[in-house]
Amino acid sequence: MSVNVRIPTILRTYTGGRAEVEAEGATLAEVIESLEKNHPGIAARVLDDQGQLRRFVNVYVNDDDVRFEGGLATSTPDGAGVSIIPAVAGGC
């Protein structure tokens, strides 16, 4: 399954500055493996040392937050849009 992955500015150094790249995979885990294969180093920014999604990185398949869908096992149908969004912290 081919999906389009939207890359946040902070991770574009791994994609040669590209804001969107294609990746293959039937699940989010497979998509991240595909990203890592074609853009080495990106997986370490998305996954923690245990291979789980980092706490402060939000990932959406189409408009669904994968934390409420199935995590890394979330299905990524052909043509889906995957968005990687780093959480933003701040305050007064």
Q: Taking the model in full, what pTM does it have? A: 0.90
What pLDDT does residue 89 have?
64
CB atoms under 10 Å from CB of 33, counted, come to: 15
Predicted pLDDT at 1: 78
Nearby residues of 28 by Cβ (< 8 Å), 6 or more positions away = 59, 61, 66, 70, 71, 72, 73, 74, 76, 82
- Give me the residues of the chain with pLDDT under 50, please: none
In this prediction, residue 57 carries a pLDDT of 93
